[in-house]
Structure formats: C-alpha cells, structure tokens
Chain A
Amino acid sequence: MKIEHQDGRAKREDVCPGSKGKLDLESVRAQIDRATSHDAGLAEKEKTGPEYWRSLEELARSADFQAALHREFPKGASEWVDSVSRRGFLKVMGASLGLAGMTACVRLPLEPIVPYVRQPEGVVPGRPMFYATAMTLGGYASPLLVESHLGRPTKIEGNDQHPASLGGTDIFAQASILGLYDPDRSQSVVSMGEERSWQSFLSAIRGPLTAQKALQGAGIRILTPTISSPTLADQLRGFLKIYPQAKWHAYEPVNRDNVLEGAKLAFGQPVETRYDFEKADVIVSLDADFLYAGFPGNVRYIRDFAKRRNPDGNMNRLYVVESTPTTTGAKADHRLPVRASFIETFARAMGGGVYPEDRGPLFPGPMMKDLESHGGSSVVIVGDYQPPAVHALAHALNAKFSNVGKTVFYTEPVDANPINQTDSIKDLLSDIHAGKVDLLVILGGNPAYDAPSDLDFAGVLKNGKIPLRVHLGLYQNETAELCQWHINQAHELEAWGDARAYDGTVSIIQPLIAPLYGGKSALEFVALLSGQADATGYDLVRAYWQKQHTSADFEAFWRKSLHDGWIEGTTYSTKSVSVKASNFPASSSAGSDPNAIELNIRRDPTIYDGQFSNNGWLQELPKPMTKLTWDNAVLIGPKMAERLQIKVEDVVELELNGKKVTGPVWIQAGHPDNSVTVTLGYGRRRAGRVGTAQGFDAYALRTSDAPWVATGLQIRKTGDTYKLASTQGYQSMDTPDGGHRPLVRETTLDEYRKEPNFAKEEGEEPAPGLTLYKPYPYKEEAYAWGMAIDLNSCVGCNNCMLACQSENNIAVVGKEQCVIGRHMHWIRVDAYYQGDRDNPRAFFQPVPCMQCENAPCEVVCPVGATNHSSEGLNDMVYNRCVGTRYCSNNCPYKVRRFNFLLFQDWETPQYKMMRNPDVSVRSRGVMEKCTYCVQRISEHRIDAETASVREGKEIKIKDSELQTACQQSCPAGAIVFGNINDPESRVSKLKAQSRNYSLLGELNTRPRTTYLAEVRNPNPDLKS
C-alpha cells in the first residue's frame, strides 16, 4: 500500500508551534476590562468576553486560539507528518478504523441467543460461554461451538454433537475468528468512493426497484455464491415472485459443476454424494482431496478415515491416483501421480476399459481385485476437478461394487440452487452484453477478481453496460470498487442465518456479537430488496422456521435447535437413484497430447479462492505439502525441473492461449511430470493490508472452458528469482551425507504384525537416571501431563496449528520474517518425503513442545525463566525471560519461538477483543512456546478443587474433560493429552502401545510428548 506523504508534509508548516502568533497584551487588557466593567445583567445580554477563560490567548481571542477551538485534536496530534513503516501504518490505521466502529467493549447481540454447555444464572466474568453456530464455505456449513468471553467470541471449536464435526474443525473455521475482527473489513456503505448511510442506500435503490416493478423485474439480476441456506433461498425465491422476470445467477470460483454434471450424467438428476469411510475397507480416490479442508464433509471424513487407520483394528487401505500432491495422497498406501487428463483413462480402465500398456506396472489390476473382494465396503471417490464423465464412472463403479447404501449414499443436493455455475455466469454475461441488465445485485463474492478470465467480468462492470451495480460484501474488494454501491456485509459470527452441512443437516447461524461495523447480512439485504427494509435477520430466520415447524411447541423447538446447533430432522434422507447409462461420453481433455504440458488450477490450501487473502493466520499457515507461506508458487515435478533446468525460486512465465502469468517455481516431490500446478487466490489488488499484492493471480489463466485442467501450457524462464518463505528447512529424513534419522518411524502392516516393537528398536533410549541432576520429586497422586500423537491418524491438515494460534494469542509475523525463519507457531506439522522423488512416501509429524523430563532448555536458562512444574510441564515465565535464546539453541526439537521484534499488535482494538484473556500477550524480546495449554489445565484444576471442597472428597480432573486446543479441534483425533499417572487415561493407554516412541529419545530428554509410529497397509500384490 502506498501512502501519500505529500499532503502531510505540506501541512507540517501550519502545525508547527513556532508559527503561533505573539500574544498581544494590550488586547488582553482590553478584554478583561470589557468583561469586568459591565454589570451582571448587562453582561448576560451582550456578553463579549468569556466568563471563564483557560488562557490569556482565549481571553484575547487570538487567531491561534480560535483555530485551536475549531480543531478536533490539538495541533500535531491530528496530522500525520511522519513517513511511516508498513508496520507502523498498519497499527495506526487499525486503531483509527477500529475506533470509528466501536463504541463499547461489550457488545451483546440484542436478540436472545441460547448458551450451549453451561448456562449460568448470570454471566460469570472470566468464565467463557459456548454457543453453537456455523460458518459456511462454498455453501456447506461447518458446525461450530464458539467460545465467548463477555460477549466477545475468541475461539472456534467444532460442535462435538453435530455429525459433520464431532468436535473437529478445519483451518478455515479456526481462522474465521480473525476474519471477524479484521480491521480491514468493510465498515460502511460506500457509493462512488464516498461513505454513505444505509438510509441513503435505501432511498437510492427505491427508484430503480419501482421502475423494475413495472417491467416485472426484467432488468434485475442477482448473482450469489453457492447458497445452502433454506431461509435465504426462500427469500430469493420470494423476491423472484415479486419480480418474476428477474433472474438468480450463482457463481463461485471453487464450484462443483463437475460433480453436478457427473450426477446428471449418471442419474439424470443432481444429487449429493455422501460417503461413510468408517465402513470402507478399500478406498480409491481419483484426484479427490477428501482429507483436506474445503472438501465438503472433510472434517467428518477425516474422523471416519482416521478411525480405520488403527493397525490393531481393521485397517483400511487407500489408493490415490492424483494429479498434484495432496495430503490425501500423502496418507495413501498406494499413490499414483498422473497427469489430470490421464485420470479419466484410468477410471475407464477401472470400468473395464483398456489400460494403456506403456504406463508401466499395471496399477489397476490388484487394486480392482481388492475392490471386488470388498464389495459393499469400498468407496470410489472423485475430486471436483475431474470432468463429469469420471464422476459418472465412479457412480457406476460404486453401484457395481454394491457400495451404494452401504458406504456411498445419495441425497438431495445441499446447494439450494443446483445449477451449473459456469453456465449461469455465462448466461449473465450474455444478458449484460445484450443490454438486458439494468440492476445487478452481487450478493457476496468477488466476481470481478475470480470470474473466468475469458468472460472479462471486471471489464463488463467497468464499461458501464449495467446502469446500476450493487455489491454486498465483507470487503471493499475488486468488485466493490467497480459497483456504484457497496454495502458492508455482516460476518457470519455477527449475523443470523442458517445453512446446511454436507449431509443436509441445517444449523442455525447465531450471532456471537453485534456487527462490529454495523454490516447487513445477505438475508437482511434481500429482505430490503423485497420491500421489508426493517426486517432483522433474527425475525427472518425465525419466521422461516416457524413456517416449517408449525406445531405449538415452536419455542421449545427453536431453543433446542439453537442450543444443539442443528435442527433435528433436517438431515437428508438417502435417495435411491440408479445409474442410467454405462457408456459415458469422453470429455474433451481425455486423451490429450501426452507431450503437451498440462496446467492444474487448484484452490489454494490456505487462502482458498482468495476470500481469505486478508487473513494473516491463513497466509502464514504453511501449505501442507510445500510448507510455503504468504505466496502461491508454480509447482512442478523434479523430473520436469531437471529437464527444463529450473531451480526453486526461479521466476517462470506461464502462457496459456495467449494469457501470461509469471510466478516463482517450487519443485514439489511427487508432482507428475509434464504438468504444472498453480493455486488461486493470490495476486489480489484490493484485499486489504495483509493480502494485497501477495503472490500472482492464477485466475488470469482460468477460463470457463477449462476451469481446473488446461492443456498446452508454455513455460519459460524469465531469469529472475523470487524469494519464497518456506517454514521447513529440509523435507527429508535422509541427510545429505547419506545418513537417515528415524524421526517418523514407519512400517507396513505385515511387518508390524511380525515386529510390533519396530518403533522402539530404531532409536535406543538410555536407561533412566543417567543425568547429573536429581530427578524431580513428583508426587504419585499428582497429575503428570503427557501427550501422544498418532502419526497414523494425522492427515497433515494443519488445523492444530491454527487452533493453537487462536487459543494462545500467537502473533503473525509477515512474509519477510517468515523468510528468515521467525514464524511463531507453537505447534508445527513437519512434512517429510522419503524415497523416489517422483513418487515419494510422505509423512506428517505435528511437533509441539515435548515437555521433556530432562529438559535441555531448563538447564541453560541463566535467569530461570523456564522451569519444571510439579506436574511435569516446562513452564515458561515470560516476565522473567531476558531473551538470551540459549534455551532455543539447546532445544533439539526447535519448538521454542522468539519475539525478535514486537510481533504482537498491541494497538488495534479489534485484536484486543479477539485475544484469549487467559493467555498473556507476549512482548518483544521474550521466548515463548507450547505450554500444553496450561490455562486450560489451570481452569480445570480450579474446577476440580472447587468441586472437591463442595463435595468434601477429592475430585480429579476427568480424562475426557480437559483437552488442549490442538487436541480438541483435531478432526482425526490424532492428538491425545491427559494424565499419565492415571493408567486408565486414554493417553496412558496409547503410550502403552507398542508403536509408542520418543522423538530423539536417544538424547535422554525423556519427552512427555510421544508418537505412535506410522503403519501403512499396502496391497501385498502390489510390490512396487
């Protein structure tokens, strides 16, 4: 962001105190005389001098004083005369914007909302309340439980009673709390660059709406993202009744057109496909990244999948055929990296077609046998990027293996308006070009940035073809800029609404806080267009559900729905559909020239389609496979890089059908050859202070014909280089000298059965007591906290990192600091690649503080700022830390994080509201690290002690009650924390397993955090 300094400099002159006029003593005397010579009555009438004066200048009515009176702030305070750093600017702007929108600290919503777990008589200060609500992504609801401190939502948890969450969340849900408090969010109604009031918009829109009324709304077009909200859909349909000629278009860049068309191809009607991975023994994923945030139902799918990864139970087997490395591929027992266009050939081979012989070892053969022998307990799942034919083929295959009704279910679509969104926006464009559109209402979204580039949506908005353009949005983004009216939208945590989860279950979205900047929800906005300007979101949602639930117990129904976080009986029942054809037409991309370079366009793993660009947590969250932050990159495979002589961070130019984009290269192990992956969401022009101008805009290469996979890409080196910020130094456990470090220990299921203690044999732990220092005197009956992380369950989704960031007030440091290596995450997920670079095995390892028994950090701290607690934690005393960084040097796990600069934002009022009040906000020069969420331990200890006193007997913290933040929201349930002194606790039982091992145990650190080694389940017939 560029700041104009010129004005400020020019003003500096007149604020200089030196220019103050000299006090004229004569005039002062004259004033005093005048003020005192009159008697009281006279003075009342023709009062010339002030009764009380604060200074002689005031009395003399000097010009300076008059000027000062008319100034809001003292001289010098109101002008910005300094050239400022980006950081300083962020602080001050944040503060002023925040102050503009805020009138009080506590903002409880006006309507009654129902507290979730604890319902105290009154609010107990210091005790959080939890409310059930939801947020949507791509239309699908994630059921949430939001922690609220005195009316301020501070932390997102998953709704553990909702079937779509079971307590887990994904990264986007975790990060939404930062989105809520983002000081860059749109804070007012804006028209033509000027702030306006909601009322002025009301009067401005009345005329055009009345005019359209006569035309039956023929000139009105509404463009929405994917909507699953029953209330909003109902409202929009109501609007279309008033204006029958108006049209509702839907477009979202990350849409599911292929899924929809595939279902239509197979069944002749749009259906939603739902899977039950808990029952699936064999899973074949064709480019489906179903274990990562953004895939509908991923949180539940991860949980179900992880349950079946227990090598002591009935372990499943996952085959992944994919066009770009994903976390799902990393968890696969067999992974086949192929170009995206080949997946259709592969799917056809699975359906009985010919598998080309030149493709090396016959992968599908043994896999098909596996599928056949697991009829009814297998799943074939296809990713949204694959053409409709592949989806249809998968439907046919699932039917063939009699999975339908057992592991695969069909329901009504969750999308309330299941149309082909690409066609929809094309129709809209052709209407605009035909001059049929007079009023375009964009209900959220950012089409000027993310619509297919061949449609040139931004150009259409700019050239004035549409007389009136209205945009409702969270940000004044690229689209808002091109519309006459921009209405600031309320965040999902500040507005009423409803939405469907992947299984159709409806959640009521409850506001946790009144709109910080007075925004309007989509519901309220559509109500206004329909002539109900005063309708509140609460009334609208309630009214809709009152219509659905007409019996007398509505109040109880309503309260229960709010309390539980979902509406009973709304889960879609399964639909029986049958595959119509078995011979599906080939899509255009299939059988494309094998020598042409293919381009995969994917949503970004952390900022999705660009809607999270301004979210610092997500920007700084390492992308799961590359560990890159703050940028997208051109991903290519090692073979291709070698052939083209491209190195990491070389800037290349990508050309596709004449459109060019330049970006830095990242060489990704396991990426298929002759194929390139780019992710969307970067290169924003108006995202906010965090997201603007980060990365490159891949939308430029994305057309309506080839939204995900395009062929015929040209790639050229430009000769420039660009620094990328990866948070992981080295992504292999093999050191360059040929050694191997057993950091993630793994074996196959067969080997595991033969040698269950394999993990312990790889690194010997010295006998206890081999230390100079006396062991800590723990009490037998006290708590001893420990953690076990099951590497078999962990899917590398990074959710724990954001949960920790949110819980523990961890700062965002920015790209420059990430490049140096100063990111602050207390828990990180290391990704390692082993073996063949073109198709490596990949491993994820979450690393929080190990809370070592013989902690190397404690011994070397010169001031005793890091100490061993009586419960075995390595406590960090921030106030005592002087910042020698010796502890970090001596930490073999490198989990300590240092505030090299003032990384925390101490100024922005929004961030003050956002922070967890139970955790200190660290300042510059202080070391910090994972504490096992000591604030949660303390809270539960206090509760247990209070209960002990009340009951008159000793009550201990229950194993199920106390969870760390990373554990609580882990969708896979991979992290288990608890009391290891209690042999019955889950963590003790996990630690007793044969797979349990200590990371770097040979150093005699005796970590409290241990890992359960990874076991894979390869097909014995596939030895490759």
Chain B
Amino acid sequence: MDEQYKITVNAQETPVIEPGYTFGTVTEKISAIVLTRPASNGWFVGFGLAFMLTMMMLYAIGYLFVKGIGIWGVTIPIGWGFAIVNFVWWIGIGHAGTLISAILLLLRQSWRNSINRFAEAMTLFAVACAGIFPAIHVGRPWLAYWLFPYPSTMGVWPQFRSPLIWDVFAVSTYATISALFWFIGLIPDLATLRDRAAHPATRMIYGMLSMGWRGSARHWHRYETAYLLLAGLATPLVLSVHTVVSFDFAVGIVPGWHTTIFPPYFVAGAIYSGFAMVLMLAIPIRKIYGLEDFITERHLQNSAKVMLATGLIVAYGYGIEAFMGWYSGDRYDAFTLWNRLHGPYAVPYWSLLACNIFIPQVLWIRKLRTSPVALFFISGVILVGMWLERFIIVVVSLSRDFLTSSWGMYYPTRWDWMTYIGTIGMFLAAMFLFVRLLPMISIFEMRTLLPEAEVKE
C-alpha cells in the first residue's frame, strides 16, 4: 500500500472510519445489512410508496403514448417543458457519483471509499431516470430510435450538427461507463457476499454475479488496472456530459440559452446538485443502518465543502449571465435579464437565487457543516434550487423570445407532475432495492482504510 493510503488520525479532524474496527467487523457490519438483517417495516413502507410512484409514472407514460405529447403543458413557443428540465436535473445529479468514484479515486482521496458505492448507484439510477425523458418527450416516441446512427437500409443518418445527437452519444456513453464502473467495483464485494451467504439460492445468485472472483493476487492486479482505466475514462465524462447537455441550449439562438458560460456553469451545477443528493441519501442511510462509524462527520463536511465551492461557481455563472445581459447591449439579452427579475416567472427566479446562492452560504459555518440535520435540509434546498435553475433556463427563456407577438406561458399539467414525481419514485425504489440487495458501502475498500491494512516493512 502506498503512503498516501495511510490514515492520519488527526486530533482536529474526524477520521474517515471510527477506530476499533477490524477486517472482520467491517465485513460483518456491511454484509449483514444485505444477508442477515431482516427488512424492517419501514423499508417495506418506503419501498411500497416508491414503487407506487413508479407505477404512477408508468401510467402517465402509457397515457402519453396513447394520446400524444399534448397531454403535457408544452406548447408553442415553449416546446420544451418538464421533460427537458427533469432530464437535465437528473443527469446533473448523476454527476456527483462519477466525480466521487472516478476523480476522487485518481486524486487518491481515500475518504471517498465509504460513499462511492452508493454514489455510483445513485448515478446509475439518476441516469436511468434522466434517460426516460428524451425518449418519451418526442412527438413520435416509437421513432425515437432514429436519433441513433444505425445503418438504415435507406442510407439515412442522423443530422450530426444537432446538439441532440451529441446528447445521444454523451448520455449513452455515460450510462455505459457508469454501469461498468459500478459493476466492476462490486465484484470483490459480491464474492464476499457469496462466501458469506447462507442460503444456496442467494449463494448462487451472488456467485454468478461475482464472475468467479477468488481474490487471488492476479485477480486483484487485473481488477486494479481495470478500475483505474475505467476511472480514467469516466473522469472526462464528468466534464463532458453536462457540457454537451448545456450545448442543447448554448447552440440555440434563444436569448437566455445562447451563452458561452454554459458548459462550465452546467458542470459545476451538476456537481452541486449531485453532492446535495448524495447527502440527502447518506444522512438517513447512515442513521438507519447505524453506519455513522463509516460515513463520518468528515464525509459530510467534505461534501458540504464541495457544495460550497461548486455553489460559488454557479453563483459566478449567474453573475456573468446577468453582466453579459447588460454589457452586450443586446436588447434581447437585456430583456431576458429584466424578465427573470420582474417578469411573470420572477417568483421562481428569486426562489432560485435564494436556494442556490443565498441559503447555501450558511455552509461557511462549521457547526452547520457538521450537523446532519442541517445538511439534510440545505441539500434539499439546493436540489429544489437546481431544478428551478433548469426550469428558468428552459421554460422562461422560451416564453419570452424575439417576437413579442409569440410570447406565451407554460402551465404544467398533472401528467407533467405525475411523470416527474414518478421518476423520483423510481429512483427511490431502486435505491431501496439497492441497499437491501447489494453492499451499499464498498467492503474491500473500507478494509483498506483500517490500520490492519497498513503494510509493515
């Protein structure tokens, strides 16, 4: 083991794992959640609710397929509504998982080890939720596959100048890499579960999933190489996916879309909301499953610091947008700024500023940064704020563009809400299943954090 992996127990800093654990106790504690601990009533209630919301989403989508996109609130001029807002929001949330697992791995931030697994799961589920929207939001969803460059007998290809095509590549690559990364990281732990499982069926399922892992040095060697390579592949994706998503808007000529600041500002926003979601998941999970020793105050604090930093980048983005609206002298950009502050959507815009800029500034206070309850609520506020940001960008820009005669208003319908809330349900349902079926904290990586793991010369 490298020097950097050493745990320095500092008097000032909370450790990333509480003292007193051994290889055995760590393994026992994490695998027990999956293997021996009975599912509580709370789990059933929570999963049941989330599952019902998923069903509601399926109903809403089914009705959408039968009737058409007109059941939503989208119209001319606001051709994109909740579907695109939610798509960008979910994709953004996914980013934290990749950042934690890939970038922090490359940066040797060992504190990530206890949160990377479920952050990656979160990424995967968020991308799944996000992926629903572009497919169903088109007018003829049964032809959505035309966006893929498949060799058609007609010799017709997609139109590669369109950012939506870039999106197709960006998002599908992202989903593939995230799934692979997550699964490869799971293999040693799946083998652990296989070895510890009592029931033959469980053993067989985990056995198949662990793909013959025996923990030999050769296995570990290959594993480390593959994992590092994937981390290397995933790292640029953290930057590229949301950059490409931001091109959907930046390439357009709509005032409020056509801005060069969008790529960095979207990436920062994505990480911002992603960490907020990580915290919103981690805080209740560590409480319920008694994992305070593994997901410590230090994790919470580090995440809060990341949020503070990315939040400031986002604030800078807003500032530049406003400045350019004024400085460019362009009458349409200037009006876009005015309209955000005073127009019919002023309330969402001011709420957005409050949620994304003003309220998160309390994270400068160390006490709040280490308080799980406070962090939970601040994260919630940030998630709402980031959703509003996408709403402002997508809907408000479209509602007031060039010709005053064509201005319009957007009113989401119940189907919009059902689909949106339904994806939250689907996300939560998947998380509920995940914590019960797979080790939500990486067992073997946690073990590397123990003093036992230190290689003695």
Q: Which residues of chain A have a CB within 8 Å of any CB of chain B?
A: 728-733, 735-737, 739, 741, 743, 773, 817, 820-822, 828, 830-832, 845, 847, 856, 859-864, 880-886, 888-890, 892-894, 896-902, 924-927, 999-1000, 1003
- Contact residue among A732, A890, A900, A927 (Cβ-Cβ distance under 8 Å from B254): A890
Which of B159-167, B196-204, B228-236, B296-304 contacts the other chain?
A: B159-167
> A864 touching B156 by the CB < 8 A rule?
yes
Chain B, residues 52-83, CB within 8 Å of chain A (1/0): the string is 00000000000000011111011111011000
Q: Are A861 and B76 in contact (CB-based, < 8 A)?
A: no
**Contact across chains for A926 and B139 when beta carbons are under 8 A apart:** yes
Which 7 pairs across A and B sit closest by C-beta, in order of nearness?
A883-B139, A925-B139, A900-B70, A729-B407, A885-B79, A901-B70, A894-B406
Decide: A821 and B165 in contact? CB cutoff 8 A.
no
Contact of B146 among A845, A863, A924 (CB under 8 A): A863
Among candidates B75, B252, B334, residue contacting A739 with C-beta atoms closer than 8 Å: B334
> Closest residue to A828 on the B side, CB-wise?
B405
Tell me the bound Cα distance from A289 to B238 in angstroms: 65
B73 touches A882 (CB 8 A): no
| CB-nearest residue of chain A to B168 | A862
Count of B interface residues, CB-CB < 8 Å: 54
B411 vs chain A, min Cβ distance (A): 8
The answer to whether B164 and A884 touch across the interface, beta carbons within 8 angstroms, is yes
State the Cβ distance, A869 to closest chain B Cβ, in Å: 15
Q: Assuming the A-B contacts A860-B162, A884-B164, are A737 and B335 also in contact, with contact meaning beta carbons closer than 8 angstroms in the complex?
A: yes
Residues A892 and B402 in contact in the complex (CB < 8 Å), given A882-B147, A924-B68: yes
Contacts of A925 in B (CB 8 A): 68-69, 138-141
Q: A817-B70, A882-B138 are in contact. List 19 more A-B contacts (CB 8 A).
A: A729-B77, A729-B409, A730-B407, A731-B404, A731-B405, A735-B404, A736-B343, A741-B402, A820-B75, A830-B403, A831-B405, A832-B405, A864-B159, A882-B147, A886-B252, A890-B253, A893-B406, A898-B76, A1000-B403
Which of B139, B164, B334 has the most chain A CB atoms inside 10 A of its CB? Answer: B139
Binary contact track B147-185/A, C-beta < 8 Å → 1, others 0: 100000000111101111100100000000000000000
Question: What is the bound-complex CA distance between A735 and B69, given in angstroms?
Answer: 31
Q: Count chain A CB atoms within 10 A of each CB in B138, B165, B335 and give the residue with the most.
A: B138
**Judging by beta carbons under 8 Å apart, are B74 and A856 in contact?**
no
CB–CB A894/B138 < 8 A: no
* In contact, B70 and A885 (Cβ under 8 angstroms): no
Please give me the residue from chain B that is nearest to A738 by CB atom. B338
A882 to B156, CA, bound (A): 14
Q: Please list 14 pairs of residues, one from A and one from B, whose beta carbons are closer than 8 Å in the complex, sorted by A's number.
A: A729-B406, A735-B335, A736-B339, A845-B405, A856-B252, A862-B158, A864-B158, A880-B146, A883-B138, A886-B79, A890-B253, A894-B76, A897-B76, A901-B70
Q: Which of B140, B248, B253 contacts A856 (CB 8 A)?
A: B253
The residue of chain A having its C-beta at the shortest distance from the C-beta of B343 within the complex is: A736
> What CA separation (Å) do A999 and B143 show in the bound complex?
35
CB nearest to A823 among chain B residues: B76
Interface centre among A735, A862, A897 (most CB of B within 10 A): A862
Q: With A883-B139, A886-B79 known to touch, is A892 a contact of B158 (CB < 8 Å)?
A: no
Q: Are B407 and A739 in contact (CB under 8 A)?
A: no
Do residues A901 and B147 form an inter-chain contact, with CB atoms below 8 A? Answer: no
Task: Check B76–A896 contact: CB distance below 8 A.
Answer: yes
How far apart sit A765 and B137, CA to CA, in the bound complex (Å)? 36
B contact residues around A729 at 8 Å (CB): 77, 404-409
Q: Which residue of B lies closest to A739 (CB)?
A: B331
| Cα(A864)–Cα(B401), bound, Å | 24
Q: Which of A731, A864, A888, A892 contacts B76 (CB 8 A)?
A: A888
Instruction: With both chains docked as a complex, state the minimum distance between the C-beta of B69 and any C-beta of chain A, in angstroms.
Output: 5
Q: Among A732, A832, A880, point to the contact of B156 (Cβ < 8 A).
A: A880
Q: Which residues from B are CB-within-8-Å of A733?
A: 404
CB contact between A894 and one of B71, B139, B157, B401 (< 8 Å): that residue: B401
A860-B164, A862-B162, A901-B67 known; A885+B139 contact, CB < 8 A: yes
Question: Interface residues of A: mostly helix, strand, loop or mixed?
Answer: loop
The distance from the CB of A840 to the nearest CB of chain B, in whole angstroms, is 14
Contacts of B404 in A (CB 8 A): 729-733, 735, 741, 743, 832
Residue contact A892 to B162, C-beta cutoff 8 Å: no
A904 to chain B, nearest CB (A): 12
Give A845's nearest chain B residue, CB to CB. Answer: B405
Contact pick for B252, options A735, A882, A889, CB 8 Å: A889
Bound-complex Cα distance A901 to B76 (A): 13
Give Cα A736 to B335, complex, Å. Answer: 9
Alpha-carbon distance between A892 and B257 when the two chains are bound, in angstroms: 13
**A860-B405 in contact (CB<8A):** no
In the bound complex, residues from chain B placing their C-beta under 8 Å from that of A893 are 402-403, 406
Interface pair B162/A822, CB less than 8 Å apart: no
8 A Cβ contacts from B310-338 to A: 331, 334-335, 338
Measured CB to CB, the closest approach of chain A to B430, in angstroms, equals 27
Q: Is the CB of B139 within 8 A of A882?
A: yes
Cross-chain contact of B164 among A731, A736, A847, A886 (Cβ < 8 A):
A886
Write the chain B residue with the least CB distance to A894: B406
The answer on a CB contact under 8 Å between B73 and A859 is no
Please determine whether A862 and B164 come into contact, CB atoms closer than 8 angstroms. yes
| B contact residues around A892 at 8 Å (CB) | 253-254, 401-403
Across-interface contacts of B411 in A (CB, < 8 A): 820
Set B77, B147, B158, B402: member contacting A821, Cβ < 8 A: B77
* B287 in contact (CB, < 8 A): no
Inter-chain contact B165/A881, CB cutoff 8 Å? no
A728 touching B139 by the CB < 8 A rule?
no
Highest count of chain A CB atoms <10 Å: which of B69, B157, B253 = B253
Verify A822–B70 contact, CB threshold 8 A: yes
- Taking the nearest CB of chain B, how far is it from the CB of A272, in angstroms? 39
Does the CB pair B68–A830 fall under 8 Å? no
A859 to B406, CA, bound (A): 22
Interface residues of B in 227-274 (CB under 8 A from A): 248, 251-254
CA distance A860 to B163 in the complex (A): 7
For residue B144, which residues in chain A have a CB less than 8 angstroms away from its CB?
A: 882
Residue of B with least CB distance to A899: B139
By the criterion CB–CB under 8 Å, are A821 and B70 in contact? no
Q: Are A743 and B68 in contact (CB under 8 A)?
A: no
B138 neighbours in A (Cβ, 8 Å): 882-884, 925
Known: A894-B401, A901-B70. A924 touches B140 (CB 8 A): yes
CA distance A735 to B339 in the complex (A): 10
Min CB gap B74→A, angstroms: 7
Task: Enumerate chain B residues within 8 angstroms of A847, measured Cβ to Cβ.
Answer: 403, 405
Nearest chain-B residue to A889 (Cβ)? B79
Q: How far is the CA of A293 from the CA of B172 in the complex (A)?
A: 57
Interface residues of B in 106-150 (CB under 8 A from A): 137-141, 143-144, 146-147
Closest B-chain residue to A863, C-beta based? B146
Shortest beta-carbon distance from A983 to chain B in Å = 31
- Tell me if B69 and A821 are in contact (CB < 8 A): no
Complexed CA–CA distance, A999 and B144 (Å): 34
B143 touches A739 (CB 8 A): no
Q: How far is the CB of A927 from chain B (nearest CB, A)?
A: 7
Known contacts A862-B165, A889-B80, A900-B75; decide if A821 and B408 are in contact (CB<8 Å): yes
Q: Does B342 interact with chain A (Cβ within 8 Å)?
A: yes
Please state if B68 and A902 are interface contacts (CB–CB under 8 Å).
yes
**B335 touching A739, Cβ below 8 Å:** yes
Say whether B93 faces chain A, with CB atoms less than 8 Å apart. no
Task: List B382-413 residues whose CB lies under 8 Å from chain A.
Answer: 398, 401-409, 411
Q: Which residues of B contact A731 (CB under 8 A)?
A: 404-405
Q: Closest Cβ of chain A: how far from B382's Cβ, in Å?
A: 27
- Residues on B with C-beta less than 8 A from A899 are 68, 139
Q: How far is the CB of A714 from chain B (nearest CB, A)?
A: 34
Asked if A890 and B140 make an inter-chain contact with CB atoms under 8 angstroms apart, the answer reads no
A1003: nearest chain-B partner, CB-CB = B253
> How far does the alpha carbon of A821 sit from the alpha carbon of B254 in the complex, in Å?
19
- Do B161 and A859 touch across chains, with their CB atoms under 8 A apart? yes
Bound-state Cα–Cα, A832 to B405, Å: 8
A882 touching B143, Cβ below 8 Å = yes
Shortest beta-carbon distance from B83 to chain A in Å: 10
- A885: which B residues are within 8 A, CB to CB? 74, 79-80, 139
